[in-house]
């Protein structure tokens, strides 16, 4: 009899505890690390069977593990990531994001973990053979990316057609709505592999550093993420993850 009472008491207690835990996890709990990304940027972030995978997703997972948090990836428009991090909607932004002086005014960046180069994608046999041939041509870009900013600065806003997704910019090239697409070299390679008849012209644009954006208000998280990321760089984990997605050239 007594045994049963203890048993049912234990059950009630367990019930209360799990209800409490559920309530704790229902909102944005302290132990959840939300990462905003734009999952149209292979091999850094893309969908594989409904799941966001890629270099950024795996590095973020490793960071979250190191700092004892649970990673939650939110897929959003690239152009809304910096503002979302700045206002605290997301804990961090990780999206093959280039460190720029302009973005640094809104958010802080971690140590850089990878590099990218802006490339020009054209159709095979295109008269565009280098950057010099771009004048007067319609340029497709991904909205709010550095490629967009460079193209608009150099060739004028009226020559630039921005798309929400890199894949949409490439589709516009395939259907001749634009003459070329300016985009980071690694997604460019993925898109060219996936679409016949496209080629990449490497440009002489400067190499860019990719880093994680974190709110200027959240220096504690910045320090934690930086410490974890630096360990993952030092012990070769970041290199292993990058090599898994990018075959050595």
Least distance in Å: CB of 42 to ligand GLN?
10
Cβ–Cβ under 8 Å, residues 221 and 214: yes
Q: Which residue number, 30 or 101, has a Cβ lying nearer to ligand GLN?
A: 101
CA atoms within 13 A on the CB side of 79: 13
Question: Each residue of 157-170: b (16+ CB within 10 Å) or e?
Answer: eebbbbbebbbbbb
Q: Which residue number, 187 or 226, has a Cβ lying nearer to ligand GLN?
A: 187
Q: Which residue number, 147 or 225, has a Cβ lying nearer to ligand GLN?
A: 147
Least distance in Å: CB of 39 to ligand GLN?
9
Least distance in Å: CB of 30 to ligand GLN?
28
Distance, CA of 137 to CA of 142 (rounded, Å) = 16
Which residues here bind ligand GLN, judged by CB under 6 A? 38, 41, 78, 95-98, 116, 142, 145-146, 184, 208
Least distance in Å: CB of 73 to ligand GLN?
14
Secondary structure (DSSP) of 27-73: S--TTEEEEEE-S-BTTTBEEETTEEESHHHHHHHHHHHHTT-EEEE
Least distance in Å: CB of 91 to ligand GLN?
18
Q: Which residue number, 67 or 192, has a Cβ lying nearer to ligand GLN?
A: 192
- Report the Cα 112 to chain-centroid distance in Å: 13
User: Comparing C-alpha atoms, which of 238, 182, 244 is closest to residue 210?
Assistant: 238
Q: Which residue number, 108 or 224, has a Cβ lying nearer to ligand GLN?
A: 108
Q: Sort 87 into a burial class: Cβ within 10 Å, 0-12 / 13-18 / 19+.
A: exposed
Least distance in Å: CB of 139 to ligand GLN?
15
- Report the Cα 221 to chain-centroid distance in Å: 18
Q: Which residue number, 96 or 140, has a Cβ lying nearer to ligand GLN?
A: 96
């Amino acid at each position: 009899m007594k045994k049963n009472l203890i048993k049912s008491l234990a059950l009630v207690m367990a019930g209360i505890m799990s209800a409490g835990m559920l309530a704790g996890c229902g909102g944005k709990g302290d132990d959840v690390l939300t990462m905003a990304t734009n999952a149209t940027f292979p091999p850094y972030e893309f969908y594989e069977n409904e799941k966001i995978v890629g270099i950024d997703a795996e590095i973020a997972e490793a960071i979250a593990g190191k700092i004892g948090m649970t990673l939650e990836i939110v897929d959003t428009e690239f152009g809304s990531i910096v503002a979302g991090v700045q206002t605290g909607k997301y804990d961090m932004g990780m999206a093959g994001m280039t460190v720029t002086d302009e973005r640094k005014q809104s958010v802080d960046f971690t140590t850089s973990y990878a590099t990218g180069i802006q490339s020009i994608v054209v159709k095979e046999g295109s008269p565009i053979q280098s950057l010099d041939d771009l004048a007067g041509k319609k340029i497709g870009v991904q909205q709010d990316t550095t490629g967009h900013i460079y193209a608009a600065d150099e060739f004028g806003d009226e020559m630039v057609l921005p798309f929400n997704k890199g894949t949409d910019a490439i589709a516009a090239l395939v259907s001749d709505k634009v003459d070329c697409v300016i985009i980071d070299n690694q997604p460019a390679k993925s898109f060219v592999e996936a679409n016949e008849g496209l080629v990449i012209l490497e440009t002489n644009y400067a190499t860019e550093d990719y880093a994680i954006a974190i709110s200027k208000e959240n220096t504690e998280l910045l320090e934690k993420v930086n410490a974890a990321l630096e360990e993952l760089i030092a012990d070769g984990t970041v290199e292993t993850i990058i090599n898994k997605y990018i075959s050595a050239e």
